[in-house]
Each structure stands twice: as structure tokens, then as C-alpha cells.
Amino acid sequence: MGSDRDADVDILIVGAGVTGIYQLYRAREAGYSVQMVEQGTGVGGTWYWNRYPGCRYDSESYTYGYFFSAELFREWEWTEHFAGQAENERYFNHVVDKFDLRRHIRFNTKVASAVWDAASATWLVTGEGFSTRTRYLVAATGVLSVPFYPDVPGRESFRGEAYHTGLWPKTPVDFAGKRVAVIGTGSSGVQVIPVIAPEVASLTVYQRTPNWATPLNNRPITAQEQAELKASFPAIRDAVGKSPSGFLHTHSDKSTFDDSPEERQAFYERVWRLGGFGKIISNYRDMTLNPEANAEWSRFVAAKIRAAVDDPATAEKLIPTDHGYAGKRPPYVTDYYEAFNRPNVELVDLKQTPITAVTETGIGTAAGLREFDIIVWATGFDFGTGALSRLGAVGRDGLPLKEYWADGPLTYLGLMCHHFPNFFFPGGPHGAAGNNPRYSGDQSDFIAGVIDFAREHGHPVIEVPKALEDEWTNMVNEAAYTISPFKEISYFFGTNIPGKAKAFLLNSLGRPKLLQMMETAVKSDYDGFFPAPGTPGTPDSPGATDSPDSTQATGR
């Protein structure tokens, strides 16, 4: 093959979250030598790092988990329809141990660089105290795995306790009787605020822009429901497998103005009582597409907010004016708005009084300094490309992935890209609808299939053709402005990160289109995915030599 260097493993997987665990299971079952590396000390990914008070699913627990084993589904009993972080983490540990996957996982290992070596058709992956050569590199690093801190003067000078919701300590934080600031009212901020509000001496919420938060409507799973879930495994598996959204919620066949005003109000009340994403999926089918329909539903939600919040001025600050419902990723909450009725909770509008600095004792705004014992940074993530751009991946011809994606991601089905042979990133940009395990599971199955095909037919290199990458990327970007409800102010465009290129980071085409294009590739026997011997970037190609060491190759 042009080199006497053999791979240490067939497949190396980075990240022990929901996607990586499934990819590990698939690889092990198919007989590959496989290793997983994980930066943390345990499994769970999002559900390992985000352990702040109130953290929980907003997808139904039994649709978020795995469906590859009926025995697993039936033996695990979720206690709530939307399980909390601790239960979610226990679940993923149970899966890893039940299927004897832990022995393949190396914890406390952060990847610093991954360099493609054309001569041996392998990736050299290195980190502190770690180096391995792998045939295939699967970066299951997640879209919500790089916490973002805003550039606030003096942030690190604060002498009290400071935490980011995405890097929460394992030791519980004692909020009792403390003066607490929460900065941010996105998905994590709206979860932590109502949980800690009863404990603290005072809670000051710093909000830049409000979002449309609607009730999660969580409740325990009854014994009868447990029995029904276990008995219905095949039906549930098939339903989420075929669902356009990956959920069990049914889609409405009505448009908003098919109904009278009275019928619409009654319909909205029924939708309001649904769990989680039912507010979108089971709403009128044109709610996210028709501006007038969206405004109608948004007015209904605004009225609910005004009814929940006692102080009219505070209520108005909590109602978005820069986007309609689902213009950003809508969070699902329990008693969030009601928390602002407590005498110890205050809302600060950062549009009116922006933060000027963090000091040793507190937070300064245009209105003056407030002193705190604890600051909680609920300021989100470098979504979509954050972890992948920090992987130190260098592809064919010494091209860094970070450079290739400087103007936004270029992908095929959100799981691979040209110039980066034998490299996959399930759950990455352009592939999923947020942190949705059904989409990333589809991608993991596709990856397993193309690697199996390459093994069976003796292809050492898999690289998606540039034409297919361009086709998918262009379709995603076009649909982002014509089909997707999300606006450019959403972090789904990367606009929450200063200096980051504005580019859509989700799959705007939906799951059906993703599955359709996967099926096309499979039926064509992955036409064009296997470069002919001698093609640049393959073993024995002209100029194919061993890569320089990873430090030189990545400019580190």
C-alpha cells in the first residue's frame, strides 16, 4: 500500500455521547477493532457535562434512547416522560456496561490533532500522552460540546463561584442563601432559574433577548404507561424510524386559517398541554411557514406569558419582539415564568443596561455594580462546528478542516466532506435537527454501511465526491432561507459567536430528504466514493509520502 505502517485500530471514535456509543456498538458488532476516546471521565456526552440543576430532556425519554435492542428498551424503566440529567447519565452507563463497551473506551483523553497520511491511508490521531493510527476516524463530538463565554471585561477576576452550565461540576453547588446571577435565558438558563430560585437569597437574571418558552408538561410515567411502552416496542421503534421528525407526535393535517377564531383558540389550548416538541410538530402544519399563522400562535403564547407573570413590565421584557415562535430554538420549561413572581427574583434587560464589566465582587452595568456570591454563565455553545474545528483535523494535501470550513461547513449529508478521506462526523453540521439522536443514528448506520462496503470490496479509501458535497451544501443553504423557520439571529447560524462566519448549521431539508439521499448512495453502491488507485490522496499515488509530524502539520 505504499507504506509499511499498519493501523493500530480499524476505527477510532472521538466522543462518548449518544452518537458515539451507538457507532461504537455498530463497529464492535461488525467485527472491527475499535477504540473510543473521551475527554471526560464518563460517558453520556451532553448528559455528562451538563449537570446543572434542572437539566433534562425535552424529547420524550423513550424516544431519545436506543432502539437497536428490544431487551434494552424493555428492561430500562424511565421514571419521567422527560428524564433529568442524572437519570440520563445512568442510562448511558447502563448501555455501555450491558453491551461490554467500556473496555473499548479511553477516558481523560482530548484529541489535539488528527492528520491524514495518504501513504498508509490512515489517520494519525494524537493528544497528551496518546497517539494512535486508525483506518477510519469518526468524530462524534456533538453540536453542543464547546461552551461559549462572552467577551466581558474582567470575567476571570470574579472571586466568588462561577460556573458555565455546559461545564458543571460533579459536586453539587450550594445555592442556599446566596446572591446569585444567571446570565442568559436560552435553553439552559430557563431550566436552572426556576429550580434555584426558591433556594437563593436573591436571583438576578441578565437577559439579552427573550425566547418563546412553552411548558414542557413533564410528569412521572405510571405503571400502566410502563407496561404499554414495553408492549409497544416494535410499534414505537417503527414509528420513530419512519417519522419525519423522529418523534411520536402526530402531524396536523390542518392549516391555521382552515379553522374559525374560536376553533383556533380551542386547538391552541390542546397543543399547549402537549409535551415538549408537540408545540411545533402537532401544531397547524403552516405555523412555522406562514408569517400570519406564526403571528397568530405567537400572540397566543404571549398572552400566556402575560397571564403567568404578575408584573406587566417584566412580562413584556420576557416576550420576544425580534422573532416569532420557533425563529430560534424554542426551549421547554417548568414554572419558568412563574419564577419572576418571587420577591427575590429580578430581571435585568441587557439591551437597556448592558454589562460593562465583571469585577472581583460582582457585575457592573450602566446602572451600577451588583455584588454576587455565584455567577452562572448560561451563555450557550459554539454550535455545530465548534468541536470539529478544534479537533486539529488535517486532510488531504495538508488542508486543515478549520480552514476548509472558514466560511461555513461544506458537507455531504452532514456526516463527511471532500478532501478528508475516511473521516466521518455523525451528528455534525448539516445533518441533524439539533441534538436529535434519530438523525445521528441514521448517519451512524450510513457510516457503518459504507465502511462495510469498502471492506468487502477492498477499497482502502472512502472520500465523498465534491459534486455530492456541493449538492447537499447548496440545498441546505437554500432551504435555510426558504423552508426553515429559524432566523439569522439564531445560534443555528453561528451568529452568537463573534467572528464566526454566518452559515446555517442544521439540516434544513429534514429527515426524509436525508434518508432519501442515503438510499440513493446505497443503491448506487456508493458510486464515486472510492478513488481509483493512484488518485491524489490515496496509497501509491504520485507524491504520497508519510505526513510530517502532527505538530508541524497543524501549525501548533
pTM of the model: 0.93
SS3 530: coil
Give the separation between CA 501 and CA 405, rounded to whole angstroms: 9
Answer yes or no: is pLDDT of 3 > 70.
no
Domain spans in the chain, listed from the N-terminal domain onward: 9-41+107-146+383-540
pLDDT at 532 over 70: yes
pLDDT at 187 over 90: yes
What are φ and ψ of residue 357, in 5° steps? Answer: -170, 155
Sign of the alpha-carbon dihedral angle for 445, 447, 450, 454: negative
Q: Is the pLDDT of residue 46 over 70?
A: yes
**Confidence check: pLDDT of 88 > 60:** yes
* pLDDT tens digits along 471-522: 999 999 999 998 888 888 888 889 898 999 999 988 999 999 999 999 999 9
Kindly state the cell numbers that stand for 392: 486539529
Q: Return the CATH class of domain 9-41+107-146+383-540.
A: alpha beta
- For residue 120, what pLDDT is reported? 95
Label the pairing between strands 355-358 and 362-365: antiparallel
As a whole number of angstroms, the distance between CA 549 and CA 480 comes to: 40
pLDDT-above-90 percentage for the chain: 86
Predicted confidence (pLDDT) at residue 145 exceeds the cutoff of 80: yes
> How far apart are the C-alpha atoms of 382 and 332, rounded to whole Å?
21
Phi, psi of 209 (to 5 degrees): -140, 135
pLDDT for the residue 542: 55
| In the predicted structure, residue 433 carries a pLDDT above the cut 90 | no
Residue 227, CA distances (Å) to 78, 83, 157, 221 in order: 12, 18, 54, 10
Q: What is the pLDDT of residue 547?
A: 43
Cβ neighbours for 504, distance < 8 A, ≥ 6 positions apart:
408, 430, 476, 477, 480, 484, 486, 492, 493
Asked if 320 and 490 touch (Cβ cutoff 8 Å), the reply is no
* The three grid cell numbers given for residue 29, joined into one nine-digit string: 458488532
Locate 228 and state its grid cell. 404499554
pLDDT for 19 beyond 50: yes
Burial class (CB in 10 A: 0-12, 13-18, 19+), 524: exposed
pLDDT-derived band of residue 537, with 50, 70 and 90 as boundaries?
A: low
Task: Assign 5 a pLDDT band (cuts: 50, 70, 90).
Answer: low
What is the per-residue pLDDT across 66-75, written as a single tens digit (0 to 9) for each?
A: 999 999 999 9
Least confident of 9-18, 335-344, 541-550: 541-550
Distance of CA 344 to the CA centre of its chain: 33
Average pLDDT, integer, range 211-224: 97
Under 8 Å CB-to-CB from 441, ≥6 apart: which residues? 19, 22, 67
Give the residue ranges of DSSP H helices in 483-510.
Answer: none
**How large is the average pLDDT for residues 406-416?**
96
Mean pLDDT, residues 271-280 taken together: 96
> In which band, very low, low, confident or very high, does the pLDDT at 4 lie, cut at 50, 70 and 90?
very low
The pLDDT tens digits for 151-174 are: 999 999 999 999 999 999 999 999
Give me the mean pLDDT over the 532-541 stretch: 70
Q: What pLDDT digit, counting tens, does each position of 94-136 carry?
A: 999 999 999 999 999 999 999 999 999 999 999 999 999 999 9
Give me the mean pLDDT over the 425-439 stretch: 84
Q: What is the predicted pLDDT for the residue at 555?
A: 28
pLDDT exceeds 80 at position 545: no
